[in-house]
Structure 1
Amino acid sequence: ILMVLGAGRGPLVNASLRAARQADRKITVYAIEKNLNAVVT
């Protein structure tokens, strides 16, 4: 389980998903962002 608080536009989430894929591991990601303007559109 990975929890990212203040995820912003998601570079840490993307890097974590890429690392999990390379390590052949399944992860559950919870990304929390309070700033609506940080959501990728």
Structure 2
Amino acid sequence: RKVLSLIAENKTSQEIAKELSVAVKTIHKHRSHIIAKLNLT
């Protein structure tokens, strides 16, 4: 949920990764899962 709210704030993957102390690749995976769950593909 935190990732989604940061995406909604128009933050980049790099900014989100830094804020959450995770790898950028992790954020890309979260984005993919969010898009799939919302059927936005």
Scaled to the shorter chain, the TM-score interval is 0.3 to 0.5
Higher helix content, 1 or 2: 2
Give the greater-gyration-radius structure (CA): 1
- TM-score calculated relative to the size of structure 2: 0.42
